[in-house]
Structure 1
């Protein structure tokens, strides 16, 4: 044990604290961070930012919907052969105009003529057999009339007892035989008449087949496609050429199904063909399709052009714009200055030199220029939503007159 009494003395007093010293490195780092934060805040909320702007104003506005289209025709037909054979003649070519019923092609007819000749010969034979059967019926009818007269006389004489029973029975048998013969000949005449009718029907069928070898235009129009040449062997139903009625030409356009409630027949339209997209051809909506494509979710509408280009072709591409409505003085904002919070449209407005977000109400959501129903007034300054944030000080670059 130690002799120092203080070594064994216990105390509850806290020892005096040690003096802590802040590291100069940490101090200057913290000071720098605070300074940077103050500079950032000053830059963000005190220094005016350059941002594009737009002054709200009233102007003419067209609300439209556009979509791709292809040139088509309501009245068009694939003219084909209804009989098999070799194509011997084509009387028209592409771009030729035809009238209804015009002869446009012929198919080899020699075999069909021979079949028709055989059918006509069969008809003549059937008609001769029918005439013979009718003559036999007339002859048997005369014999029957004579037998009835003879039997009547025999019956009268028998009642008076002037003829024998054998003579009476002989006259009766002759009468029955004549009646049976007339009935049989009438049946034969009916069969001959049926054979004549069948032969006549066969002649009509063969005449129709021969007529089908001459291919004629079903309606007036222009030949758009020629698929065959002279000498080709055709099967029944093989296409020879295609005829299009130019008066029925339409442009079948496709639009998103969200616009189906706004498109109506008679609305004006602008058509731009792919070969000259800068020039617009006027037209109007003719009719709407009543089905939506399950994959693209698009519906179709047929557009009639007021004037077709001099060189048009079926399946030619174009772009169609339908004017849904037109207002001479609408409150308009560019769609680029509108941002969406879910389904709510908002804009950034310059108020007191700072950017503030404001909710607005639009009449539609299609197009690059939108009409404002509520929330803005003429003269309000809109700021680009890409560069704006709440309470941002603004130094405008100039109004955008888009």
Structure 2
């Protein structure tokens, strides 16, 4: 019985193995047929030629002749020529506000008006009192003139009577009466003269008062001390302003300045009038020109730097007070020099070199560089105008590597600036 069982088990195992073999054989032939159809639809690519795997694709650019300048660079924030607080010069309630922030105003233009009602009442009253005082002064002057004539006539008559008295033609009493009359006239003249002096003083006081009130009225009109822009408005309609309280902040933006700080050694290369370029910090494609306006005569002891003031030739647009800028002060210019893209230069072990295309071969060439800027660099030694240098793909190159040029471009002769 056990023998029969063992035979039955063996038969089942053999049958299972035969089935697996048949399935595997069928799958193999099906796979070959499928691969054959795929091969017919997509033929295999052509095999690479021997040696092609060592050819490096590169991009070339031609060394050109041009002009390049050296620049000392620093950063700064632009500032206005001047910024001042325009303050009230008298007390009063704000009656009108005539300008807003950002408005351009001219020198002498009224910015706001304070209430001047009470001052004008004072002015009118003082003018009326002055008119009365002048009238009284005129009357006193007339009395003075009349008294002077009477005194002169009486003096002449007294002199004549004294001669007649000596001749016994008039009495002593008549002479005494004339003397008494003369004394009265002279007394009245002294009184009138005193009144005239008082009236003159009164007129002067009233004229001074009118002048003061007129000045205070003029101060109720807050005017721009110079032409510029309203930076800030600090006044509100109806507010009571105190004397010397700031009302506006005014700025003169013509021109703008950038104060940069250079080391003592760098500052020795700078002279007033040297040209400069100013690039906007947030967008360095926005550029304007300028010049060195002033050089501080002292070295800042805390920083060891010298302040250089650069004046911008153009204002407005993006160039505003407070804007962050990069300033380059031109210190030297070289013309007819060899220029290549900075990205062509490879540095290794402290040496700088480029790969020069010679036919289909890259030649490693050591170079001595000069000024550099804006993606370009000056080659002082090692390269000539017209030679083609590798600007892309040099990472896979070595001396004598085979190259395949995928793109060649020429640089235009342009004036560029350089940063030391």
- SS at structure 2 position matched to 1:248: strand
Match of 1:43 in 2: none
- Out of 292, 301, 308, the residue aligned to residue 309 of structure 2 is 301
Say if 1:281 and 1:306, in contact at 8 Å, map to a contact too: no
Report what 1:107 is aligned to. 114
Tell me, yes or no, if the aligned pair for 1:71 and 1:317 is still in contact at 8 Å.
Answer: yes
1:172 to 2:158 alignment = no
What pairs up with 1:324-343 in 2 under 5 angstroms? Answer: 324-328=331-335
**C-alpha contact (below 8 Å) 1:281/1:307 kept by paired residues:** no
The secondary structure found in structure 1 opposite 2:282 is helix
List runs of 5+ in structure 2 lacking aligned partners: 1-64, 354-367, 384-396, 400-420
Aligned-pair CA distance for 1:378: 4.3
1:261 — aligned with what? Answer: 268
In 1, Cα distance between equivalents of 2:311 and 2:271:
11
Shift of 1:203: 0.3
What corresponds to 2:99 in structure 1?
A: 92
Corresponding position: 1:216 with 2:211: no
For 2:244, the equivalent position in structure 1 comes to 237
* 1:258-286 Cα shifts (integer Å, max 9, x gaps): 33332233322221223213x14131215
Mapped to 1, the partners of 2:130 and 2:297 lie a distance apart of 55
Offset from partner CA, 1:228-255 (integer Å, 9 cap, x none):
2212322222222233334323333333
For residues 240 and 302 of structure 2, the distance between their equivalents in structure 1, rounded to whole angstroms, comes to 41
In 2, are the aligned partners of 1:256 and 1:299 still within 8 Å (CA)? Answer: no
SS at match of 2:332: strand
- Give the corresponding residue for 2:296: 290
Asked if the contact 1:129/1:192 (under 8 Å) is kept, the reply is yes
Mapped contact 1:81–1:236 kept (Cα < 8 A): yes
Closer, same or farther in 2 for the Cα pair 1:397/1:87, shift >3 Å? farther
Alpha-carbon distance between aligned partners in 2 of 1:291 and 1:107, rounded to the nearest angstrom: 46
Q: Output the CA distance in 2 between the equivalents of 1:69 and 1:349.
A: 33
TM-score for the superposition, normalised by structure 2: 0.61
The change in CA–CA distance for 1:205 and 1:171 in structure 2 (over 3 A counts) is same
Q: Distance in 1 between matches of 2:73 and 2:208?
A: 58
Q: Report deviation, 1:195.
A: 1.9
CA contact (8 A) 1:224 1:243 kept: yes
Aligned counterpart for 1:273 among listed residues 280, 285, 292: 280
1:117-266 to 2 correspondences below 5 Å: 117-266=124-273
Contact 2:80–2:255 (8 Å) recurs in 1: yes
Structure 1 residues not aligned, in runs of 5+:
1-57, 338-346, 351-359, 380-395
SS at the partner of 1:275? coil
TM-score, normalised by the number of residues in structure 1: 0.64
Distance 1:290 1:177, change over 3 A: farther
Q: Deviation of residue 196 (structure 1)?
A: 0.7
Give, in angstroms, the shift of residue 331 of structure 1. Answer: 9.5
Structure 2: how far apart are the matches of 1:170 and 1:192?
Answer: 33
Partner of 1:63 in structure 2?
Answer: 70
Q: How far does residue 371 in structure 1 lie from its aligned partner after superposition? A: 9.4
Deviating 4+ runs (over 4 angstroms): 58-61, 329-332, 347-350, 368-372, 376-379
- The verdict on how the C-alpha distance between 1:163 and 1:198 changes in structure 2, with shifts beyond 3 A counting, is same
- When the two chains are superposed, the root-mean-square deviation of aligned CA atoms in Å is 4.0
State the distance in 2 between where 1:176 and 1:308 align: 83
